[in-house]
């Protein structure tokens, strides 16, 4: 077992966001255990970490979290409660936990201010945002390539912390193509579709020309983008309408994105990701409690796709550098 691994797609909930996870818990008989696991920031989670060889978990609020709260004032209230709650857990177990900030993205300036507070006052390592933000009306959504968010991205760049773009389901009013197949909207397929489109929008918006040092994290071995990246760039030579980047899209994706293995424990997909990505930008994570820590570690610790040296790099050293952790 590779000990001392660092995971940073590791989720928690607070009572205000707990019910949003019910549909992901499996059959109804598993809800009691699942809800206990995602609410727990104490010994039970630490025991699971010990059994899986995880030394440090960077905790983040469950999806969609505050991104699913259209009212800006309520979303900010919930975000601050979540951030204070997880900060207390980190203070109790500073050698085992760190945190990503939950941010309401209705207003770029308010989001930037809360991120600044969390990083500078609470010691958070960055933020995890659960996809697009519902704003005002539940059917009104915003993606973060929009020009109004440049002020927020300026703050992320100045703070020099990673932004983790995490999946969420599409809202029903925009999901006609899933009609009759609700299973498609969730983790089996729709999560990757929504998150990859959002990531590609960021690449195509000129964002990384304005802020070349930005670091955006994606889970699940890159939400399918590594597999399709060659074709994206090849076809963009013929149909670049609306593309605002100064360089090929693949350049931005390889340089500005960082990829975790969370919830995608497949040798073939792993090989593809490593063929596309520098292994300095690939990381261990488990996606707990939506996945079992032990399953993630059993695969990562034993796959023959990587060497022992690469396993240590992706399991530990890369995260130390990205998150500016004290070496252990």
Query: Which residues are catalytic, by number?
Result: 287
Show the 3-state SS of the chain.
Answer: CCCCEEEEEEEECCCCCHHHHHHHCCCHHHHHHHHHHHHCCCHHHHHHHHHHCEEEEEEEECCCHHHHCCCHHHHHHHHHHHHHHHHHHHHHCCCCEEECECCCCCCHHHHHHHHHHHHHCCCCCCEEECCCEEECEEEEEECCCCHHHHHHHHHHHHHCCCEEECCCCCCHHHCHHHCCCHHHHCCCCHHHHHHHHHHHHHHHCCHHHHCCCCCEEECCCCCCHHHHHHHHHHHHCCCCCCCCCCCCHHHHHHHHEEEECCCCCCHHHHHHHHHHCCHHHEECCCCCCCCCHHHHHHHHCCCCCCCHHHHHHHHHHHHHHHHCCCCC
């Amino acid at each position: 077992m590779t000990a001392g691994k660092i995971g940073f797609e590791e989720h928690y909930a607070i009572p205000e966001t707990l019910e949003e996870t019910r549909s992901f818990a499996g059959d109804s008989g598993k809800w009691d255990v699942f809800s206990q696991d995602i609410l727990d920031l104490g010994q039970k989670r630490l025991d699971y970490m010990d059994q899986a060889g995880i030394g440090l978990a960077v905790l983040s609020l469950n999806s969609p979290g505050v991104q699913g709260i259209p009212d800006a004032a309520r979303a900010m209230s919930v975000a601050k409660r979540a951030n204070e709650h997880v900060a207390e857990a980190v203070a109790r177990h500073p050698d085992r936990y760190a945190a990503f900030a939950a941010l309401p993205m209705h207003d770029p300036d308010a989001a930037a201010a809360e991120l600044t507070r969390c990083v500078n006052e609470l010691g958070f390592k960055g933020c995890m945002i659960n996809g697009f933000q519902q704003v005002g009306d539940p059917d009104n959504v915003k993606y973060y390539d929009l020009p109004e968010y440049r002020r927020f991205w300026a703050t992320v760049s100045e703070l020099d912390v990673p932004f983790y773009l995490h999946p969420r389901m599409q809202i029903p009013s925009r999901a006609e193509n899933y009609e009759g197949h609700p299973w498609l909207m969730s983790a089996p397929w729709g999560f990757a579709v929504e998150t990859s489109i959002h990531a590609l929008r960021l690449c195509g918006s000129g964002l990384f020309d304005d802020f070349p040092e930005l670091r955006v994290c994606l889970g699940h071995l890159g939400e399918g983008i590594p597999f399709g990246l060659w074709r994206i760039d090849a076809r963009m030579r013929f149909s670049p309408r609306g593309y605002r980047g100064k360089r090929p899209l693949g350049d931005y994706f390889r340089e500005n994105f960082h990829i975790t293995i969370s919830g995608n424990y497949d040798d073939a997909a792993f090989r593809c990701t490593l063929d596309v990505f520098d292994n300095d930008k690939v990381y261990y994570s488990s996606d707990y409690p939506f996945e079992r820590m032990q399953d993630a570690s059993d695969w990562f610790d034993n796959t023959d796709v990587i060497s022992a040296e690469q396993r240590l790099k992706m399991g530990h050293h890369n995260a130390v550098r990205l998150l500016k952790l004290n070496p252990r």
